[in-house]
Amino acid sequence: MSSFSISGKLVDLFQRRIYPAEISVTDGFITKIEEVTTIPDQYILPGFVDAHIHIESSMLVPSAFAHMAVVHGTVATVSDPHEIANVMGMEGVQYMIDNSKQSAFKFFFGAPSCVPATGFETAGYTLDAAAVKELLDNDDIWYLSEVMNYPGVLHNDAAVIAKITAAKKAGKPVDGHAPGMMGVDVIKYASAGITTDHECFTLEEALGKIAAGMSILIREGSAAKNFEALSELIKLHPDKVMFCSDDKHPDELVLHHINAHVKRALQKGYDLFDVLRVACVNPVYHYDLPVGLLQVHHPADFIVVNDLERFDVLQTFIGGSMVARNNRSLMDEVPVVPINNFEAEKRSAADFKIKARSETPVIRVIEAIEGQLVTNCIEGKGKVVDGYLVSDIEHDILKIAVVNRYEQSAAVAVAFVKNFGLKSGAIASTVAHDSHNIIVVGTDDASICAAVNRLVECKGGIAVASDANTVSSMSLEVAGLMSVKGGKEVAADYSLLDAAAKNLGSQLHAPFMTLSFMALLVIPALKLSDKGLFDGAKFEFTEVETR
């Protein structure tokens, strides 16, 4: 039997009071909380929970992610393995579960509901209703992951409804994904059994979904940032709100996690107990997670902080074990054995050419928006050289392409995008939601080809081509999504490539994260899959040239 005690100012989120206390822990559980008089000058509170994240987007396997997260006071995540499922299917989901079990950190995985997200792209695998039901029957699966096929819900698609029904029968909650949805559609979407949404980007939209019975996840990730628009929900509906990051790149995970949401909310003047309810309690209750909340008989999952303003995490405990102290993880390193699914062959610059239909074409352009996953569909004058459409660097209309990673010699899809700002070269990645084909943006075909071919050589990763002959890259050996390296090393490697992309002219906060969403067809308005340019509003393919 192992036991210890720890003292400090206890932040009791149920009595909504702070008092001096000694907490006794035996075999990983809290056995006694006693009010005392003499204590150290420190605060003890429940650990933070990220209510929705794709671990793969950190470019780290779960055990490596845990090393980074615990130093910021995170003790658990509600994790959607949708990304690796699109690449590796059931094998990929099991890989995430198995790796996570080598860590004390509490990972709660969902059954991906939309693999592939649409039929308008090439993915590595398909998880049909039978496969999803099999996952939901697994005790290691806690919920049905975000139902991105909202048209399927609204139109009673049999396969979509079968997956939701399987979750209900298993007694597991269903996550939503319905950007911009309002009015009667929200009522129908929620009434199907969908309980959350993390895609709101206006307060009005969020309030409508809450009125329909849904909980709202306030997202602040590396690309999508909705905290400012939605933070008032903490005051208006503290019982219906959770914090999430959704996608967190390694360079930011080194610096902060859910603790940044907490500090920002307090700086805006929101009530401490409401903020901590959102950060700690609501996810545990919503998903029925075995995560302790500083009550007798609960698992000893808690953090110690210096004060309630800076929230510097002094110690993190999970299951009664100290897993982090003074910004350093105490968890053991876990060896990583990679798995992958990558069949693409090298390309030539000619594969990225796009023939102009006229001498003065007008073209559809994907307009990327800083801090958002949604894009605009705008029109611009196409630049033509020798009969081919090319990047217009002066007006920041650059060529974008998606290359099928699963089939050799498949045709390359090419279109145009605005706001990446590159003045030369190209950037490319195999982190390309949701099917994770190779996506690339660049100023010239030679650089675009060079970046793509480097990723073919390493079978997945991210790359920056300064020109056709100078390419820097980082391998992502696990499914082309995650590295076998540790968190700090991956963060350092990624930071160098992020800086290289910005040296080419990009002024985006996170160029690679923004790039990764340019193929996400379920987010309007205009995106690009390996099969062509896609109108997300009409949910159909469209042409690059309008006339």
What is the DSSP code string of 446-458? HHHHHHHHHHHHH
Instruction: Note whether 360 and 267 are same-domain residues.
Output: no
Q: Which residues of the chain have pLDDT under 50?
A: none
Q: Output the pLDDT for position 1.
A: 62
Q: Which residues contact 362 (CB under 8 A, 6 or more apart)?
A: 379, 380, 381, 382, 545, 546, 547
Q: Is residue 218 part of a domain?
A: yes
Instruction: Note whether 425 and 527 are same-domain residues.
Output: yes
Q: Output the pLDDT for position 145.
A: 97
Instruction: Note whether 372 and 275 are same-domain residues.
Output: no
The pLDDT tens digits for 377-415 are 999 999 999 999 999 999 999 999 999 999 998 999 999
Q: Is residue 468 part of a domain?
A: yes
Instruction: Note whether 114 and 213 are same-domain residues.
Output: yes
Distance CA 293, CA 24 (A): 14
Cα 190-90-80 angle, rounded to 5 deg: 40
> 0.85 exceeded by the pTM?
yes
Q: Is residue 486 part of a domain?
A: yes
Q: Output the pLDDT for position 178.
A: 93
Instruction: Note whether 281 and 372 are same-domain residues.
Output: no
Q: What is the CA 151 to chain-centroid distance, rounded?
A: 22
Q: Which residues contact 256 (CB under 8 A, 6 or more apart)?
A: 72
Q: Is residue 14 part of a domain?
A: no
Instruction: Note whether 403 and 478 are same-domain residues.
Output: yes
Q: Output the pLDDT for position 118.
A: 85
Among 290, 325, 357, where does a domain finish? 290
Among 290, 310, 340, where does a domain finish? 290
Instruction: Note whether 245 and 176 are same-domain residues.
Output: yes
Distance CA 382, CA 393 (A): 11
Q: Is residue 505 part of a domain?
A: yes
Q: Is residue 97 part of a domain?
A: yes
Distance CA 83, CA 88 (A): 9
Instruction: Note whether 228 and 373 are same-domain residues.
Output: no
Instruction: Note whether 167 and 246 are same-domain residues.
Output: yes
Instruction: Note whether 382 and 508 are same-domain residues.
Output: yes
How many structural domains is the chain composed of?
A: 2
Q: Is residue 42 part of a domain?
A: no
The domain of 431 spans: 349-541
Instruction: Note whether 265 and 150 are same-domain residues.
Output: yes
Instruction: Note whether 85 and 169 are same-domain residues.
Output: yes
Among 274, 290, 306, where does a domain finish? 290
- CATH number of 278's domain: 3.20.20.140
Cα 9-12-13 angle, rounded to 5 deg: 140
Q: Is residue 86 part of a domain?
A: yes
